């Protein structure tokens, strides 16, 4: 009977703790994934706002930047880039516009989600100002020209000569920030 | 918490209670093991009927039997029920029966929790199955339930599905904790870790995997629940989430889950082959190390399920290399089994037949797994019937044959009677032939370009689909032979000796057959 | 007696062989028509043969033991149970074989990730359950829908040779040019796959993925969606037509003039009968998958249109609004971008007059043009 009287109360508690920790780890994967995306440009996610600092402009090199827009399901706005593509020098700051129009009979709030292809180029496309940084609000029948100020960083890998910047417009009614609704 | 001494002393002198309440209130590991096994067999037949509905619809091109919406519900429910309802509970049932007997423990370490672990399952699956009768229909987004199909676009029954997953996850975690504690704390004197039977070893590792990843599954369905009902956006790009994140978290659970469903089968086969080859297992130590390394590797290969989501080159290469590495320890295991058979003195009773079929057909599934790990080729294989063929080869003649081999092997110990050997042979050969007719042609249609999860297909896939459907019927009805055999073995037959098989060694074979209601009240001493 | 037996035998054989009329048995991965697909095929065959080789050796030893080392032959079991050198050997050899596989796999993959400039960029958007192709910078954009009829799918008509693999508008691309595909989705995750090109990439809502191809031989190549995307996942094929660069230019011009013709058509007067005829076509290709061939709906998710208030007593404006803008929170999507004004007018007219919904309403294309403003 020697072995059988051993107190076993610690082991199950430790294992239960391990299960709880792993449940937490599942949620920890959410921010970890974002960090990972930032590091390796996973999914073509772009970084947030950067300061508009002057950099050396590489006038020898031209990068084609294409713009494309997609409406998510049930997003009735008209939404498109005003320029389909531009050629830019790495290091230079460029401004382009997207046009949005709300054809419905009620005010709506939208969120544009950016994505860059090829994904390994995502981290080199930096934005000082973008309509995707915050939700956009349009009244019924209202149109708006939305600005994007961006640069292509100098150390973009040599083999990349074209970057495509895509915006998908979502109906953000369920996620509208209260600040915006009061405007 | 009570120590086990106090618990089993209460019960040591009397047998099982009478009537239905014996099963509801039981804390006996043998009763609970039996219930797990019957439950999983019922689920096997339920999921099997769904598979037959699927195969009947796919017998010919065109829609004949069911409409696409119901077809999607069938594929989803078939997957969920087979994975969580048939394979996993069957292994837990075998562990309940055999682990205490193998390590010389009087019962599982936490008998009351054991009862609860089991009794959650019928409610979880009852709820899951009831969604079939709801107005919105059952979940229809595949057993991998990728967002946003399973969130924004899901039928309203998804909430019941989430609740069911939470319940069965809780059951699995509690079952796993129980097994780990039993193995770590209740081994008989002298039973060192490296003397444990391989079934115990593989289950110890499996239980750790379960404790590590079932909570992650619980996490991911919780996030879905919050996205659907509480306005968060973990997986919705509109609110700053990312649908691909879902796949990363799901497969972080999902890949170890694959090994949860196969490692105990490795253990069972490693128990059986030496007995019928009358020769000790070749490379016991390397078997333990191989299992451990497979378990570790399972945590760093998850993204090979998602090579086509558009990951950076470096990530694709990393996951490809890591996946290929798994072939090494898996190969070691296969080589060891073959080396155990080599120069043995073999007989081919049903458990051995199922084990040999396991080695043979699981290895074929392993080969197609290796092919799938090669990223450029995976771009062609991904989400086609080639994948369906692959994972059915590792799960049906792999995991399921392992379970069947184990049941045949231990059935005389449980019932006290030998099963009918010629019925067993019939069951084996019909299953073996049926399984190959069903799943081998799927390799061909997959390579030729048939996507998975489609209710209808182009004409060039017709022949092999017809063959696969015919095989599915053979395999499905073959399982009824097994049901008859088990019932007959419970009712009577040739009396089994305590060692049952010539050449069987181990604590579980030192007790009488059938195993008494209480065993090892006095711990045996292992030399 | 003999003849009867022979007749039975022949008819039994016919039953077994009759599916063979569908097509030759395809057993293997197609070699495809691009350099990439050829190297993928080579890689596939290399690994397949390596696996077969290993299988022959391992199963050979296993079946040799099963046949020779059985108790019934009076064999006494040996008692060896370990051998360090053997175990090291069968760890080392697979490692070498794996490295031999990894090298060509890596080379092929790096080649597939080539980010160099393409001649043509095509944006592909997945929808439940169709594809949209947009030729970037060319002002050409269209949807591609399954054309296999519901009657074929439900076995009322004989199935055509391209059953489930035929579309109304093919993706047309020229030979000898590097084509870049940019993939995204409008709703759930889809995957765009054409086996002959060895291109398979997920289309993910909110994000953009890319892949590329370059095809030398003209031809028609077919594929399917390969990510479960809902009820009609099995019914959204892909057809790629590869033509010479000259023919491609001609096709592009034709697409542009067709777009102009479409806006001109909206200015014309359309009769009730013309609208109904066109509406029936539009309904069959766009609406019947969910709302049923006769407007009877499907389950609880997809409402019936026959006798429904929307298509009978409700206002025409509301009906048009639903078709153009969809219904938020339901499976009803917005068709504004997918259908021309004439098509919307026709299908609205059709829905309000077919299956006994005899409202008598006639909707003109001009009404749709106005509603879009």
- CB within 8 Å: C334 and A116: no
Cα distance between residue B280 and residue C80, in whole Å? 7
Question: Taking 70 as the threshold, does the pLDDT of residue B103 lie above it?
Answer: yes
Protein fold of C268-372: Cytochrome Bc1 Complex; Chain D, domain 2 (1.10.760)
Q: Give the one of C184, C334, C372 whose C-beta lies nearest to A74's C-beta.
A: C334
- pLDDT given for residue C275 in this prediction: 87
Instruction: Enumerate the residues of chain A whose CB falls inside 8 A of the CB of residue C186.
Output: 70-73
- pLDDT given for residue A172 in this prediction: 84
Q: How far apart are the first and last CA of chain A?
A: 76
- What is the CATH class of C120-260? mainly beta
- CB within 8 Å: B328 and C91: yes
Selected catalytic residue, list B55, B78, B382, B413? B78
Cα distance between residue B151 and residue B162, in whole Å? 11
Surface-to-core class of residue C1, CB atoms within 10 Å of its CB (0-12 exposed, 13-18 middle, 19+ buried): exposed
Question: Taking 70 as the threshold, does the pLDDT of residue A3 lie above it?
Answer: no
Handedness of CA B33, B35, B39, B44 (dihedral sign): positive
The full set of domain ranges for chain C reads: 35-71+81-112, 120-260, 268-372
- pLDDT given for residue C295 in this prediction: 85
> At B83, is the pLDDT very low, low, confident or very high (cuts 50, 70, 90)?
very high
Q: Which residue has the tokens 């899951």?
A: B128
B31 has catalytic annotation: no
Q: Give the one of B155, B451, B459 whose C-beta lies nearest to C159's C-beta.
A: B459
- pLDDT given for residue B4 in this prediction: 43
- CB within 8 Å: C182 and A74: no
Q: Which of B393, B448, B439, B383 is nearest to B142 (CA)?
A: B383
Instruction: Enumerate the residues of chain A whose CB falls inside 8 A of the CB of residue B522.
Output: 1
Give me the phi and psi of C100, to 5 degrees please: -60, -30
Question: Taking 80 as the threshold, does the pLDDT of residue B69 lie above it?
Answer: yes
Those residues of chain A whose CB sits closer than 8 Å to some CB in chain C are: 43-45, 64, 66, 68, 70-76, 84-85, 103-104, 113, 115-121, 157, 159-162, 164, 166, 168, 170-171, 173
- CB within 8 Å: B67 and C201: no
B172 has catalytic annotation: yes
A46-181 is a CATH 2.60.370.10 domain:
yes
Cα distance between residue B322 and residue B334, in whole Å? 19
Instruction: Enumerate the residues of chain B whose CB falls inside 8 A of the CB of residue A11.
Output: 109, 180-181, 184-185
Protein fold of B4-509: Cytochrome C Oxidase; Chain A (1.20.210)
Give me the phi and psi of C36, to 5 degrees please: -65, -45
Average pLDDT over residues B405-419: 96
Selected catalytic residue, list B305, B390, B413, B443? B305
All residues at 6 or more sequence positions from B351 whose CB lies less than 8 Å from its CB, including other chains = B272, B276, B405, B406, B408, B409
Cα distance between residue B273 and residue B346, in whole Å? 9
DSSP state of A24: H
Residue pair B239/A113 in contact (Cβ under 8 Å)? The answer is: no
| Angle ∠(B357,B362,B364) on CA atoms, nearest 5 | 105
Question: Taking 80 as the threshold, does the pLDDT of residue B446 lie above it?
Answer: yes
List the single residue in A with minimal CA-CA distance to C203.
A43
- pLDDT given for residue B391 in this prediction: 96
Judge whether C120-260 and C268-372 match in fold. no
Rounded alpha-carbon distances, angstroms, from residue B283 to A111, B287, B336:
60, 6, 6
- pLDDT given for residue B136 in this prediction: 86
A94-147 residue pLDDT tens: 999 999 988 888 889 999 999 988 888 888 888 888 888 888 899 888 889 998
List the single residue in A with minimal CA-CA distance to C205.
A72
Question: Taking 70 as the threshold, does the pLDDT of residue B2 lie above it?
Answer: no
Average pLDDT over residues B365-372: 96
Q: What is the DSSP string of A54-118?
A: -----TT--EEEEEEEEE-TT---EEEESSSEEEE-TT-EEEEEEEEE--SSS-EEEEEEEEEES
B392 has catalytic annotation: no
DSSP state of B146: -
B385 has catalytic annotation: no
All residues at 6 or more sequence positions from B422 whose CB lies less than 8 Å from its CB, including other chains = none
Question: Taking 90 as the threshold, does the pLDDT of residue B411 lie above it?
Answer: yes
Instruction: Enumerate the residues of chain A whose CB falls inside 8 A of the CB of residue C121.
Output: 66, 162, 164
Decide if the complex's ipTM is over 0.85: yes
Average pLDDT, chain B: 93
Q: Element (H or E) spanning B331, and its range?
A: helix B313-341
* Encoded tokens for C350: 């059709």
Surface-to-core class of residue B125, CB atoms within 10 Å of its CB (0-12 exposed, 13-18 middle, 19+ buried): buried
Cα distance between residue B285 and residue B287, in whole Å? 5
- pLDDT given for residue C23 in this prediction: 46
- CB within 8 Å: B344 and C298: no
B382 has catalytic annotation: no
CB pairs under 8 A between A and C: 93
- pLDDT given for residue A4 in this prediction: 47
Tally of CA atoms within 13 A in the half-sphere of B301 that contains its CB = 25
B305 has catalytic annotation: yes
B152-210 residue pLDDT tens: 899 999 999 999 999 999 999 999 999 999 999 999 999 999 999 999 999 999 999 99
Backbone torsion region of residue A92, taken as left when φ is above 0, otherwise alpha when ψ lies between -120 and 50, otherwise beta: beta
Q: What is the DSSP string of C177-199?
A: SEEEEEEEESSS-EEEEEGGGTE
Radius of gyration of chain A (CA): 23
pLDDT in tens, chain C (373 residues): 445 555 555 544 444 444 444 445 678 899 999 999 999 999 999 999 999 999 999 999 999 999 999 999 988 989 888 889 999 999 999 999 999 999 999 999 999 988 788 899 999 999 999 999 999 988 899 999 999 988 899 999 999 999 999 999 999 999 999 999 999 999 999 999 999 999 999 999 999 999 999 999 999 999 999 999 999 999 999 999 999 999 999 999 998 888 778 777 777 778 888 888 888 888 888 888 888 888 888 776 788 888 888 888 888 888 888 888 887 667 787 787 778 888 888 888 898 888 888 888 888 888 888 777 6
- CB within 8 Å: C205 and B243: yes
Cα distance between residue C36 and residue C42, in whole Å? 10
- CB within 8 Å: A104 and C327: no
Cα distance between residue C59 and residue B359, in whole Å? 9
Least confident range of A28-42, B339-353, B510-524, C133-147: A28-42
CA torsion, ordered B229, B234, B240, B246, to nearest 10 deg: -130
- pLDDT given for residue A178 in this prediction: 52
Question: Taking 80 as the threshold, does the pLDDT of residue B9 lie above it?
Answer: no
Tally of CA atoms within 13 A in the half-sphere of A51 that contains its CB = 3
Residue pair C114/C179 in contact (Cβ under 8 Å)? The answer is: no
CB pairs under 8 A between B and C: 295
pLDDT: is C167 or B17 the higher one? C167
Q: Give the one of A2, A26, A172 whose C-beta lies nearest to B215's C-beta.
A: A26
Q: Which of A170, A131, A142, A162 is nearest to A63 (CA)?
A: A162
């Amino acid at each position: 009977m020697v072995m059988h009287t051993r107190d076993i109360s610690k082991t199950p508690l430790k294992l239960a703790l391990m299960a709880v920790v792993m449940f937490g780890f599942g949620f920890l994967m959410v921010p970890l994934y974002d960090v990972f995306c930032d590091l390796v440009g996973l999914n073509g996610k772009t970084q947030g706002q950067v300061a508009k600092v002057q950099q050396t402009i590489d006038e020898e090199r031209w990068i084609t930047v294409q713009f494309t827009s997609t409406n998510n399901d049930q997003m009735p706005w008209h939404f498109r880039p005003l320029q389909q593509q531009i050629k830019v020098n790495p290091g230079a700051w460029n401004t382009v516009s997207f046009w949005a129009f709300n054809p419905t009979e009620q005010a709506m709030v939208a969120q544009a989600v950016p994505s860059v292809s090829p994904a390994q180029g995502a981290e080199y496309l930096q934005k000082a100002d973008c309509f995707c940084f915050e939700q956009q609000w349009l009244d019924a029948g209202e149109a708006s020209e939305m600005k994007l100020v961006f640069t292509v960083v100098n150390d973009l890998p040599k083999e990349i000569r074209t970057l495509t910047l895509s915006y998908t417009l979502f109906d953000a009614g369920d996620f509208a920030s209260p600040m915006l609704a009061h405007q | 918490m009570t120590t086990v001494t106090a618990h089993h002393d209460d019960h040591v002198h009397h047998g099982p209670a009478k009537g239905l309440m014996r099963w509801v209130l039981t804390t006996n590991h043998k009763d609970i093991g039996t219930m797990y096994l019957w439950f999983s067999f019922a689920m096997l037949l339920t999921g099997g009927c769904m598979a037959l509905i699927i195969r009947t619809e796919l017998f010919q091109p065109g829609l004949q039997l069911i409409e696409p919406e119901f077809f999607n519900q069938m594929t989803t429910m078939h997957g969920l029920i087979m994975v969580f309802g048939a394979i996993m509970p069957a292994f837990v049932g075998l562990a309940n029966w055999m682990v205490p007997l193998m390590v010389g423990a009087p019962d599982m370490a936490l008998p009351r929790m054991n009862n609860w672990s089991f009794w959650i399952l019928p409610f979880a699956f009852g709820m899951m199955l009831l969604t079939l009768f709801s107005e919105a229909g059952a979940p229809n987004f595949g057993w991998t339930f990728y967002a946003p199909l399973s969130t924004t676009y899901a039928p309203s029954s998804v909430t019941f599905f989430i609740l069911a997953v939470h319940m069965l996850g809780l059951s699995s975690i509690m079952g796993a904790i129980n097994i780990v504690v039993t193995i770590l704390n209740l081994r008989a004197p002298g039973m060192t870790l490296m003397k444990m039977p391989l079934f115990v070893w593989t289950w110890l590792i499996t239980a750790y995997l379960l404790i590590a990843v079932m909570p992650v599954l619980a996490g991911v369905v919780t996030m879905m629940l919050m996205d659907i009902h509480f306005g968060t956006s973990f997986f919705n790009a509109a609110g700053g989430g990312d649908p691909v994140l879902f796949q990363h978290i799901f497969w972080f659970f999902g890949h170890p889950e694959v090994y949860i469903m196969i490692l105990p089968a490795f253990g069972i086969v490693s128990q059986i082959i030496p007995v019928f080859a009358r020769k000790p297992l070749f490379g016991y130590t390397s078997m333990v190390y191989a299992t451990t390394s497979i378990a570790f590797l399972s945590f760093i290969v998850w993204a090979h399920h998602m090579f086509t989501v558009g990951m950076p080159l470096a990530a694709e290469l990393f996951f490809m290399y890591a996946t290929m590495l798994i072939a090494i320890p898996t190969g070691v295991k296969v080589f060891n089994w073959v080396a155990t058979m080599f120069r043995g003195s073999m007989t081919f009773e049903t458990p051995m037949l199922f084990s040999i079929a396991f080695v043979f057909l699981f290895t074929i599934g392993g080969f197609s797994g290796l092919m799938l790990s090669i990223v450029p080729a995976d771009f062609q294989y991904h989400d086609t019937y080639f994948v369906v063929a692959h994972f059915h080869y590792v799960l049906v003649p792999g995991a399921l044959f392992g379970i069947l081999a184990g049941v045949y092997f231990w059935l005389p110990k449980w019932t006290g009677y030998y099963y009918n050997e010629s019925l067993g042979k019939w069951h084996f050969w019909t299953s073996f032939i049926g399984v190959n007719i069903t799943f081998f042609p799927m390799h061909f249609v997959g390579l030729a370009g048939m996507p998975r999860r489609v209710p209808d297909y182009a004409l060039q896939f017709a022949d092999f689909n017809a063959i696969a459907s015919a095989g599915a019927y053979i395999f499905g009805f073959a399982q009824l032979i097994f049901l008859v055999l088990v019932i007959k073995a419970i009712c009577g037959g040739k009396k089994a000796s305590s060692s049952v098989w010539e050449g069987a060694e181990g604590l579980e074979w030192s007790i009488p057959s059938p195993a008494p209601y209480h065993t090892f009240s006095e711990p045996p001493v292992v030399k | 007696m003999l003849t009867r037996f022979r007749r039975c035998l022949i008819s039994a054989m016919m039953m077994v062989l009759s599916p063979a009329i569908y097509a030759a048995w395809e057993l293997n991965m197609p070699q495809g028509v691009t350099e990439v697909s050829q190297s993928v095929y080579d890689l596939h065959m290399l690994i397949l043969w390596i696996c077969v080789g290993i299988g022959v050796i391992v199963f050979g030893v296993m079946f040799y033991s099963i046949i020779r080392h059985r108790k019934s032959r009076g064999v006494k079991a040996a008692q060896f149970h370990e051998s360090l050198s053997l175990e090291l050997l069968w760890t080392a050899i697979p490692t070498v074989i794996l490295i031999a596989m990894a090298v060509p796999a890596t080379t092929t993959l790096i080649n597939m990730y080539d980010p160099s400039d393409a001649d043509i960029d095509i944006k592909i958007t997945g929808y439940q359950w169709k594809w949209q192709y947009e030729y970037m910078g060319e002002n050409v954009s269209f949807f591609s829908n399954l054309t296999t009829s519901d009657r074929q799918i439900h076995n009322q008509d004989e199935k055509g040779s391209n059953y489930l693999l035929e579309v109304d508008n093919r993706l047309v691309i020229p030979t000898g040019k590097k084509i870049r595909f940019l993939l995204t989705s409008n709703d759930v995750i889809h995957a765009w796959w054409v086996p002959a090109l060895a291109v398979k990439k997920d289309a993910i809502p909110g994000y953009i993925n890319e892949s590329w191809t370059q095809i030398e031989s003209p031809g028609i190549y077919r594929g399917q969606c390969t990510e479960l995307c809902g009820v009609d996942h099995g019914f959204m094929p892909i057809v790629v037509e590869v033509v010479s660069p000259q023919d491609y230019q001609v096709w592009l011009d034709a697409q542009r003039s067709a777009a102009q013709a479409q806006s001109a058509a909206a200015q014309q007067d359309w009769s009730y009968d013309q609208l109904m005829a066109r509406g029936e076509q539009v309904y069959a290709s766009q609406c019947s998958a969910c709302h049923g061939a006769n407007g009877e709906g499907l389950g609880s998710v997809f409402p019936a249109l026959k006798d429904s208030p929307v298509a009978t007593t409700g206002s025409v404006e509301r009906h048009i609004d639903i078709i153009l803008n969809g219904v938020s929170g339901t499976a009803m999507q917005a068709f504004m971008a997918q259908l021309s004004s004439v098509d919307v007018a026709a299908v609205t007219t059709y829905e309000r007059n077919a299956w006994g919904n005899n409202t008598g309403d006639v909707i003109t294309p001009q009404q749709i043009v106005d509603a879009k403003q």
